[in-house]
Amino acid sequence: MVPVSEPVGVQVPPIFHAPEWSESSGEDAVDLAGALGMDLLPWQQLVLRNALGEDQRGRWAAFQVALVVPRQNGKNFIVRARLLAGLFLFGEERLVHTAHVFKTAHNEYEALREIIERTPWLLDQVKAMPDSRETAIILKDGRRIDFLARSSRASGRGLQGDCVILDEAFALSSKLVSDLLPTLSSRPSPQVWYTSSTGFDYSETLLKVREKATKTPEENRRLLYMEWSADVNKLDWRSVDAVAASNPSLGYLQDWEWIKEAELDVMGEEEYQRERLGVWADASSAAAIGVDVWARSFVTAEGMIGAKVKRRSLALEVTADRDLAVLAGAALLRDGRVVVDIIAAKPGVAWIQDECRRVSKKHRPHAGIVIDSFSGAAALAPRLAEAGVPVSLAATRDITQGTAALYDRLVREDESGAPDPSVMHGEHPLLDDAAHTARRRLVGTSKTAWTWQQFGEVRVEPLRAITLALRGLDMEPVVKKKRGLAA
């Protein structure tokens, strides 16, 4: 493929650590992709040649492959080429494609299914491509690709395969990776891929992989790390040179004039540098909780069997633009632990009154519905009170105390120093994302009290809602009234 515009992106990544290899099956994967209508760009071919390099024993020279490149550059075409080659050329028994959210994994399934369905010689080898109870491509001889979503608390033990793709690796937990890697030892030539756009301040696992390549490369000789990013200490972040250094598909799939008008002139500096230039977040502004701390406090429904509830609390949060309202709950158990949960999270506010009345009647919350007196939900408090729903208005002090209590429970350790969180939560995507990304925001003049700050486009309201619900367990109890607000 030839460029369609100038300038053209740099085809060799600025950060490039590769193992030694004697031969490569990368050309076979590139040829297969071309035969199937995917004409890979030079940089995409370079990734495959190095990723599929073989040592003298015929194993993949790279056990771990990390590909980090800004969005919209076409890294998914590389992943598709790798999966198709693994299934139809290399004879790998099981391949697994995982992503942070199922929609991403399902999109890859649909893309591969479309390629197979329009290619008779591939389709002839396929037994089934289910998309209901399981999402997979299964060949007649039993070999397969499985497409799965993972969560922050997921174990890696169920992801074993000859080739495992960990897409959206910016959201990987260290537990999943530490569980996964040992299980691959029984495979003859396993390979794990980390594919991602630039890491966030909570991308601890991906950062560790990066540091292996940049700080201790001599100790990680079976790691392939390829990252396209701009060094803004050497390049003007507003320049086309910075874009070319970090976007290898510039001139092929992307156009500088469009990037300048639609992104550079619109985005803030931090967002533009991260999303377009591949600049990693400053570790000094790291997420307050992060993926790993949040994952440690996950509990399943089965894990709560037999738990005795001492007291319950409810809280309501609404975004300023009213496009999301969140009703959260907290339950104090007799053993002192607390369980928090998102009961409902929906657009708009029309549903709130009926839902609050129903849930309040069912759970009889200790402090009624707790609402931040300065939040977008405060305007709804009189309406709820008029409807007979008990309400408690939280002051700024309540919010900072609730934040401190939630954080302390999350990072609690036992006498030996091992993690021993005393707050638990289930799986909820909105809450998980908020916990992974929220930063600290200092409140008042003390420089010690703080609460949650939204980071990027991820809504922080789910995290604020469970914080208020936790605080509500220790607020003054209310008695249900027909009119008026609780003190």
pLDDT in tens, 164-174: 999 999 988 88
Tell me, yes or no, whether 270 and 322 share the same domain. no
Among candidate residues 387, 210, 201, the one with its CA nearest the CA of residue 283: 201
Tell me, yes or no, whether 67 and 95 share the same domain. yes
pLDDT at residue 157, as a whole number: 65
Note whether 134 and 203 are within 8 A (CB).
Answer: no
Of 277, 310, 334, the residue that ends a domain is 277
- Whole-number Å distance between alpha carbons of 424 and 331: 10
Ranges of beta strands (E only) in 100-197 are 126-128, 136-139, 144-149, 163-167, 191-196
Note whether 116 and 122 are within 8 A (CB).
Answer: yes
pTM above 0.75, yes or no: no
**Residue 442, domain member (yes or no):** yes
Tell me, yes or no, whether 362 and 227 share the same domain. no
- Whole-number Å distance between alpha carbons of 221 and 17: 9
pLDDT at residue 9, as a whole number: 97
Q: Check residue 280 and report its DSSP letter.
A: P
The DSSP-derived string for 341-387 is EEEEEESSSTTHHHHHHHHHHHH--TTSEEEETTSTTGGGHHHHHHT
The DSSP-derived string for 442-468 is E-SSSSS-EEEE--TTS--HHHHHHHH
Note whether 61 and 55 are within 8 A (CB).
Answer: yes
Domain ranges, residue 100: 15-277
CATH for 176: 3.40.50.300
pLDDT at residue 152, as a whole number: 44
Q: Which residue has the tokens 């490039």?
A: 16
**Residue 7, domain member (yes or no):** no
- Whole-number Å distance between alpha carbons of 436 and 293: 9
Tell me, yes or no, whether 270 and 315 share the same domain. no
The CA–CA distances, whole Å, from 384 to 207, 225, 236, 376, 487 equal: 46, 55, 54, 14, 15
Q: Alpha helices, DSSP H only, in 192-340?
A: 204-215, 240-246, 256-259, 269-275, 291-296
Q: Check residue 60 and report its DSSP letter.
A: B
**Residue 135, domain member (yes or no):** yes
Tell me, yes or no, whether 300 and 434 share the same domain. yes
Cβ contacts of 417 within 8 Å, gap of 6 or more: none
pLDDT at residue 101, as a whole number: 83
The total number of residues shown for the chain amounts to 487
Of 249, 277, 305, the residue that ends a domain is 277
**Residue 283, domain member (yes or no):** no
Element (H, E) at 96: strand 94-99
Q: Check residue 303 and report its DSSP letter.
A: G
Q: Which residue has the tokens 């008008």?
A: 261
- Whole-number Å distance between alpha carbons of 28 and 31: 5
pLDDT at residue 476, as a whole number: 94
Element (H, E) at 339: strand 338-346
Q: Which residues of the chain have pLDDT under 50?
A: 152-153, 284, 482-484, 487
Tell me, yes or no, whether 124 and 157 share the same domain. yes
Tell me, yes or no, whether 200 and 249 share the same domain. yes
